[in-house]
Amino acid sequence: MSRAPEGDAAKTAEQQGEYLHVWGDTVRGKRLLVGVVVGVACGLLGLYGGRWVVDLLGVEEHLVDVWSLITGILGCLLAGVITAKFTSPARIISEDADESGELAQAIDDLGEGPRGLGTLEDATNLSRRELEAAGLTDAFRDAESRAAQHGRAGGDH
């Protein structure tokens, strides 16, 4: 189960459009930009810096390109480590959220957002299949009934 950070800061970030959807995941735009810049810088430094070092070491001419490519890849791996070290995850992953009642609370929090929770009938076929695969259909049905009891509308999808 994953959820966004709690509190006013999370609501403000969502309202300000700080989150982006990239490759099927939700990321923070500024952190993505930092990761891309660090990745490009380390990759280029590894590629061209590696070429320079390999040239200094006197490696045969036909192997310089190969070794500079390897150092470029190592630079990209280093960029991943740097980015992971200095940026914290945007979501908190919890294995026991259902048992502690956090799952129901997270779904209720989604329903209180500006677009509401909606209903499973309004959801796309893909969304319903994903909820079913994750075992969340019953939790969302329960949330729909709680929302109906409190007189909240389903909202848009």
What confidence tens digit (pLDDT) does each residue in 8-46 have?
544 554 445 578 888 877 788 888 899 999 999 999 999
Q: Dihedrals φ, ψ of 96, to 5°?
A: -110, 25
pLDDT in tens, 97-145: 555 567 777 777 777 776 677 778 888 888 888 888 888 888 888 888 8
Whether residues 88 and 110 fall in one domain:
no
In terms of residues, how long is the chain? 157
| Containing structural domain, residue 80 | 2-94
End-to-end CA, the chain: 21
pLDDT at 37: 95
Beta bridge partners of 27: 20
Asked whether residue 90 is domain-assigned, the answer is: yes
Which H or E run includes 18? none
SS3 state of residue 20: strand
Which of residues 47, 63, 94 is at a domain's end? Answer: 94
pTM of the model: 0.51
Whether residues 133 and 81 share a domain: the answer is no
Give CA angle at 132 (129, 134), nearest 5°: 110
Two structure tokens written together for 58 = 């006197």
Residue 25: both structure tokens together: 């995941």
Model pLDDT for residues 54-95, shown as the tens digit of each residue:
888 888 888 888 999 999 999 999 999 999 888 877 666 666
Amino acid found at 71 = T
Task: Say if residue 136 is in the same domain as residue 110.
Answer: yes
